[in-house]
Amino acid sequence: MNTYDISTDRGRLQLAAIHAYLTRSYWATGIPMDVVERAIANSLCFGLYLGDAQVGFARVVTDKATFAYLADVYVLEEHRGQGLSKRLVEFILATPELQGLRRFLLATRDAHGLYAQFGFKPPIRPESMLEIRDPMPYGTPV
């Protein structure tokens, strides 16, 4: 039986594995390693592991008081279909530093069903949300 565990231990994060996945993801295509390193250094990070191998990841950008943004959530393709994404999101939402927040945001193109299970829904007033967006931050469209 495969035993997966989730950890916030930064020492276990495998930057090369995280970068390898993100650079081929639809949301961070071509992301440079130094950008991944900087994002991880400034986020609350969650690694999903099977033994010593990192098979998933997520990070939360937060002030740990009022706001959080869930980003870069993935489980490697060969480990999907086992409820691991759900376990990862459950773990994140139960993290003590992320309790009592006024707003918890995320963006997804294809995982609305997963996040809806945890109460995520479209903003009540999307017209109040604004963004500055660079469609080609790493030289390729994202």
The residues of the chain scoring below 50 in pLDDT are none
**Pairing relation of β-strands 44-50 and 53-62?**
antiparallel
Our measurement of the distance from residue 27's CA atom to the centroid of its chain's CA atoms, rounded to an integer in Å, reads 11
All domains in the chain, ordered by first residue: 4-128 (3.40.630.30)
Polymer length in residues for the chain: 142
Cβ(88)–Cβ(6) below 8 Å: yes
What local confidence, expressed as pLDDT, does residue 1 receive?
Answer: 59
pLDDT at 92: 98
pLDDT at 140: 79
Rg of the chain over all Cα atoms, to the nearest angstrom? 15
By the 8 A CB rule, do 98 and 62 touch?
Answer: yes
pTM for this prediction: 0.94
Q: If residue 60 lies in a helix (H) or strand (E), which one and from where to where? A: strand 53-62
Pair 82, 47: CB distance under 8 Å: no
